[in-house]
Amino acid sequence: MEEQAEMVGRAFVDHYYHLFDSNRASLSALYQPTSMLTFEGQKILGADDISSKLNNLPFEQCKHIISTIDSQPSSPTGGIVVFVSGSLQLPGEEHMLRFSQMFHLIPGAEGTFFVQNDIFRLNYG
Amino acid sequence: MEEQAEMVGRAFVDHYYHLFDSNRASLSALYQPTSMLTFEGQKILGADDISSKLNNLPFEQCKHIISTIDSQPSSPTGGIVVFVSGSLQLPGEEHMLRFSQMFHLIPGAEGTFFVQNDIFRLNYG
């Protein structure tokens, strides 16, 4: 179960940040009406509002560089927690922004997973 | 439910790092045989081995300073995910180490929670 969690976590992270950097609007498909995002302390509920938040961030292009991915099974029913650290490159910015983010993935239809919990923080200091 | 998650998350974080800094051996009571810790990429399963890992870290005294706590309900059955950022002060070290850590808390007996998932990473760069 642990190995499967690692595989799913890595595949999810690749997919998520690829979509984020190439077609951010399509991220909404990974969330559900019950999904929760806390973005730098701001709480947002549901796929529609989460999608709106992500699509209205004050930059159009960006590139995520992933440093670490740690995944664990969260429950006997197939949930997975994924913890990511990495850097965010914004256009025209010399320095990259370090961030940490966690996802709680829940099994959906036909072997897919959706994001139940998403917490994002920039690393300062 | 979201407010309760925030309250439980904050109370847990206060309790956890207070024990860590004052009586690290007592942390074992917060874990169960099914609990998982990933510490800087190293995976450890079960309260006994987790306690052993935490008690054998290469420093005796330390002090955690917490910067942010973000909590969300993880499921309708009462789980809570908690994301923490902060700094770790080690004896004789001038600079503090920045860290991020996530916990997945599961309701136990009599209103208590135990740690099902624990992922710790130092922040670099």
Q: Provide, as residue numbers in chain B, all residues whose Cβ is less than 8 Å from the Cβ of A38.
A: 70, 72, 83
Question: Average of pLDDT values for A86-113?
Answer: 92
The runs of H, that is alpha helices, within B1-125 are 2-22, 47-55
- Report how many Cβ contacts below 8 Å link chain A to chain B: 87
Kind and range of the H or E run holding A49: helix A47-55
- Are A125 and B75 in contact (CB < 8 Å)? no
Domain layout of chain B by residue ranges: 2-123
A68 touches B at CB < 8 Å: yes
Lowest mean pLDDT among A36-40, A44-48, A64-68, B2-6: B2-6
Looking at the complex, report in whole angstroms how far the Cα of residue B107 sits from the nearest Cα belonging to chain A.
12
The pLDDT value given to residue A33: 97
The pLDDT value given to residue A82: 98
What would the pLDDT profile of A4-62 be if each residue is shown by its tens digit?
999 999 999 999 999 999 999 999 999 999 999 999 999 999 999 999 999 999 988 99
- Are A81 and B102 in contact (CB < 8 Å)? yes
Phi/psi region, residue A3 (left: phi>0; alpha: psi -120 to 50; beta: rest), is alpha
**pLDDT band (50, 70, 90) for residue B113:** very high
Q: What is the mean pLDDT of chain B?
A: 94
CA angle B52, B53, B55 (to 5 degrees): 65
B40 φ, ψ (degrees, to nearest 5): 50, 40
A124 touches B at CB < 8 Å: yes
Q: Provide, as residue numbers in chain B, all residues whose Cβ is less than 8 Å from the Cβ of A70.
A: 38, 41, 119, 121
The pLDDT value given to residue A75: 85
- Are B83 and A43 in contact (CB < 8 Å)? no
B32 touches A at CB < 8 Å: no
What would the pLDDT profile of B19-37 be if each residue is shown by its tens digit?
999 999 999 999 999 999 9
Structure ipTM: 0.95
Question: Average of pLDDT values for A67-88?
Answer: 95
Question: Average of pLDDT values for B71-82?
Answer: 92
Helix, strand and coil percent figures for chain A, each rounded to 5: 30, 45, 25
What would the pLDDT profile of B35-67 be if each residue is shown by its tens digit?
999 999 999 999 999 999 999 999 889 999 999
Considering only the beta carbons, identify the residue of A43, A75, A121 that sits closest to B85. Answer: A121
- Are B81 and A117 in contact (CB < 8 Å)? yes
- Are A81 and B119 in contact (CB < 8 Å)? yes
Q: Provide, as residue numbers in chain A, all residues whose Cβ is less than 8 Å from the Cβ of B36.
A: 2, 72-73
**0.90 cut: is pTM over it?**
yes
Correct CATH for A2-123 of 3.90.470.20, 3.10.450.50, 3.40.190.10, 3.30.413.10: 3.10.450.50
Share of chain A above pLDDT 70, in %: 98
The pLDDT value given to residue A11: 97
Kind and range of the H or E run holding A42: strand A42-45
Considering only the beta carbons, identify the residue of A43, A75, A121 that sits closest to B2. Answer: A43
The pLDDT value given to residue A16: 98
The pLDDT value given to residue A91: 87
Residue A125 has pLDDT above 60, yes or no: no
**pLDDT band (50, 70, 90) for residue B125:** low
B104 touches A at CB < 8 Å: yes
